[in-house]
Structure 1
């Protein structure tokens, strides 16, 4: 109980000032660090060199000159108004956890996080894309891999990723606290800081066990974690049970049960981001689009 309250107090100011959609800044940065510790040396150099031109983005209030800065840049720019408003639906995919998994229906016209992860990799591989667009694509990629592994970004009950589900975190409650914000920040930060250390270089066998699959596979995993843990733990074991009139309660026992799946999601995100960065900056995978034929 003391640990729960102490941790929440430590991240309280972050929750108040960060965008509601943000996978807590601390966690996004942790995912970026895991990735950079597990990419090839040539990839790490290429990523840092490209982010060294973050000035091309012309967003002085939102820095992206480091992998950690880039990991939060897509949330920061949402405060810049109409200039980046097009990117708002790219941070999530509302796949109903109480129906059969259907990613296609939740991703019309590519406006969902998994489709945008794939798109940013292609932009980075495309030799004809201007550098400014590549810098943005890199920042979006680093951020979106984190977002798609955040359970309430991957599956919900028509409640804006749990933003409409008022909740308490142990004994702590506040009018702005909800299921989404709990999984975004205090629970995610507890998962990252719970020993053993997860921000580290992983063995090849560990990477192979966690970084496989496609964005569709990863989307299903996140949807399952949202169903089986984020909602089930809040609703007495049945993720599709009627929601109570008042706030749902994350008891200390529920929080303890949520730590392991949340840690796994962060590890998966970091190692999968490392894999995607290696692919995006692999010269053998880079391509020049074929010119369109004349009509």
Structure 2
């Protein structure tokens, strides 16, 4: 079995060795998160989701948070996609963005969804945002450093083509694997109910702090202008897959609790 690491204060080994787990994911990554979440939502939750999303799947709406970036009317939500922290900080001690961040964005989405007085349109909008943001939370470079914009300013090469570290994790490593989101979701690691329950423990802030520890490891994994390719995928692709699976499992927990 591929291993999954969850970082709390130190890395905790869950299964076997050789992998770690806990920018936005690209479309494929977000859809994997949505599809895996659907595997772990209960029937009552599924009925609510169908009503609010007009029978659209979690995978389909999972990319909504990035799609609206093209519309200047939604500029206020840009800071919801990430948290910036230095290596020696956790979320509680870090300087908060006055415009909001992943933690405050997720909290606001949950508040609207639970509000009996909120309009159907608002519930739909913020549910789609919530689904997206839970994916972002588990992409390690979304809990990255402000000075390099979550790895966007760390220039590397992917199979000898210019790119940056954020983009490698966001999409290039996943797309190079050449599996669809449904294939990736279907072939996620089998986890027992006990393992799923373990991964769902903690708060959103705990999960942010977990992911930040993985982000520190990702930063240490490369040098500026380094060419990344098959060896890097061999080391880290399963980490990305584990992170998407954990995100889906935790998203399902939040949705089940909401409904």
Does the pair score TM above 0.5? yes
Whether the aligned pair in 2 keeps the contact of 1:71 and 1:143 (CA below 8 Å) is yes
Shift of 1:195: 10
Greater Rg by CA: 1
* Residue 274, structure 1, aligned to residue 248, structure 2: no
Structure 1: any 5+ residue segments left out of the alignment? 1-20, 54-64, 236-243, 282-295
Once the two structures are superposed, the pairs formed by residues 182-261 of structure 1 within 5 Å of their partners are: 182-189=168-175, 190=177, 197-198=187-188, 203-228=192-217, 230-235=218-223, 244=224, 247-261=225-239
> What secondary structure does 2:94 align onto?
helix
Task: Please give the alpha-carbon distance, in whole angstroms, between the structure 1 residues aligned to 2:63 and 2:257.
Answer: 22
- Which one scores higher on RCO, CA 8 angstroms, separation ≥ 6? 2
> What secondary structure does 1:213 align onto?
coil
Whether the aligned pair in 2 keeps the contact of 1:29 and 1:68 (CA below 8 Å) is yes
Superposition RMSD on alpha carbons, in Å? 2.4
Whether the aligned pair in 2 keeps the contact of 1:93 and 1:154 (CA below 8 Å) is yes
Whether the aligned pair in 2 keeps the contact of 1:106 and 1:112 (CA below 8 Å) is no
Task: Please give the alpha-carbon distance, in whole angstroms, between the structure 2 residues aligned to 1:35 and 1:203.
Answer: 15
Whether the aligned pair in 2 keeps the contact of 1:107 and 1:115 (CA below 8 Å) is no
> What's the TM-score once normalised by structure 1's chain length?
0.72
Structure 2 match to 1:180 = 166
Higher strand share: 2
Structure 1 match to 2:66 = 75
User: What CA deviation, in whole Å up to 9, does each residue of 1:46-86 have, x standing for no partner?
Assistant: 11210118xxxxxxxxxxx43222211111111012x1010
* Residue 138, structure 1, aligned to residue 127, structure 2: yes
Q: For the structure 1 residues 106 and 187, does the alpha-carbon distance in structure 2 shift closer, same or farther, using more than 3 Å as the test? A: farther
- 2:143 maps to which of 154, 169, 178: 154
Structure 2 match to 1:105 = 94
* Residue 114, structure 1, aligned to residue 114, structure 2: no
> What secondary structure does 1:108 align onto?
coil
What is the number of residues matched between the two proteins? 233
> What secondary structure does 2:227 align onto?
strand
Task: Please give the alpha-carbon distance, in whole angstroms, between the structure 2 residues aligned to 1:188 and 1:123.
Answer: 33
Structure 2 match to 1:93 = 83
Q: For the structure 1 residues 257 and 209, does the alpha-carbon distance in structure 2 shift closer, same or farther, using more than 3 Å as the test? A: same
Whether the aligned pair in 1 keeps the contact of 2:143 and 2:212 (CA below 8 Å) is yes
* Residue 42, structure 1, aligned to residue 44, structure 2: yes
Whether the aligned pair in 2 keeps the contact of 1:95 and 1:103 (CA below 8 Å) is no
Whether the aligned pair in 1 keeps the contact of 2:144 and 2:150 (CA below 8 Å) is yes
Whether the aligned pair in 1 keeps the contact of 2:32 and 2:184 (CA below 8 Å) is no
Task: Please give the alpha-carbon distance, in whole angstroms, between the structure 2 residues aligned to 1:199 and 1:43.
Answer: 23
- 1:128 maps to which of 103, 111, 117: 117
Deviates further, 148-157 or 267-276: 148-157
Task: Please give the alpha-carbon distance, in whole angstroms, between the structure 2 residues aligned to 1:266 and 1:222.
Answer: 12
Structure 1 match to 2:14 = none
> What's the TM-score once normalised by structure 2's chain length?
0.82
